[in-house]
Structure 1
Amino acid sequence: MGGRRPRGRRGRAGGERGAAVVDFVLVLVILVPLVLGVLQVGLVLHVRNTLASAAAEGARVAAAQDGTAAQGAAYARSLIDGAVSGEFAGDIDVRQVVIGGRPTVEVVIEADVPALGLGGPSVHVEVSGHAVKEPE
């Protein structure tokens, strides 16, 4: 009679065979960098907040009545090592400054947060913490 019947599974859907794989790859091309970007931002913020807290605590230790710059740096380094990694505690600078006419201890910590996934440059983070020096 006049019409041909499709054989087996062929028919209108037969031309779309394998389209799901292509769609999956196209979605992954957008989704993977997006997820890695969100993770990178989260990692940088976590490291920055940890370093800022360690700098403030290190400044408080160094500004104590019997505290020294070395004790403040060592305390900040131990906090960083316990929270993230010791590699972020490489560059710690403790110095005496005057803020508002008062002697103050300043702790500055610099670190590079490595890039995730697709490579690229690391993110440089610099934070500081201050504490008023206690009289001796």
Structure 2
Amino acid sequence: MVMALLAVVFAAVLQFGLIIHVRNTVIDAASAGARHGALADRTPADGADRTRDLLASSVPGADQAEITASLSEGPVPTVTVTVRTQMPMVGFITGPVDVEATGRAYRFD
């Protein structure tokens, strides 16, 4: 009985670690895409493409991620890249976990 409980606790800790890893990877990809899109010779769409490439090479199933990029005009133009995706839970009854991250970068021309 103790082994079964330990197995469930181990699986839960492993799943939590996987969720945190994917979340951190999505945050990093969104930030890198925003920085890429904020370069002087780039557009926000280039930043979204860069984010898509980074996610495709690091997170399985990221091809279904919803990636949006925008440029807000103001005193300091800001490129914003937002990523929304789902990560399936492994071995549990609950549904997929929604992961959303936003990266911002100032555009200096």
Q: TM-score, normalised by structure 2?
A: 0.89
Structure 2 CA distance for aligned equivalents of residues 115 and 87 of structure 1: 15
Larger Rg: 1
1:126 paired to 2:100: yes
Task: Give the residue type in structure 2 aligned to 1:105.
Answer: V
Partner of 1:56: 31
Task: Give the residue type in structure 2 aligned to 1:119.
Answer: I
1:85 paired to 2:69: no
Aligned pair in 2 of structure 1 residues 46, 80: CA closer, same or farther (>3 Å)?
same
Structure 2 CA distance for aligned equivalents of residues 66 and 86 of structure 1: 30
> Higher relative contact order at CA 8 Å, sep ≥6: structure 1 or structure 2?
2
Return 5+ residue gaps in structure 2 as ranges: none
Answer whether contact 1:77 1:86 (CA < 8 A) is retained: no
Answer whether contact 1:88 1:111 (CA < 8 A) is retained: no
Return 5+ residue gaps in structure 1 as ranges: 1-25
Structure 2 CA distance for aligned equivalents of residues 86 and 123 of structure 1: 13
Partner of 1:105: 79
Partner of 1:36: 11
Displacement over 3 Å in runs of 4+: none
Tell me how far 1:98 sits from its aligned partner.
5.4
Tell me how far 1:70 sits from its aligned partner.
1.8
Q: TM-score, normalised by structure 1?
A: 0.73
The count of residues paired between Structure 1 and Structure 2 equals 109
Aligned pair in 2 of structure 1 residues 89, 112: CA closer, same or farther (>3 Å)?
same
Identity %: 36
RMSD: 1.7
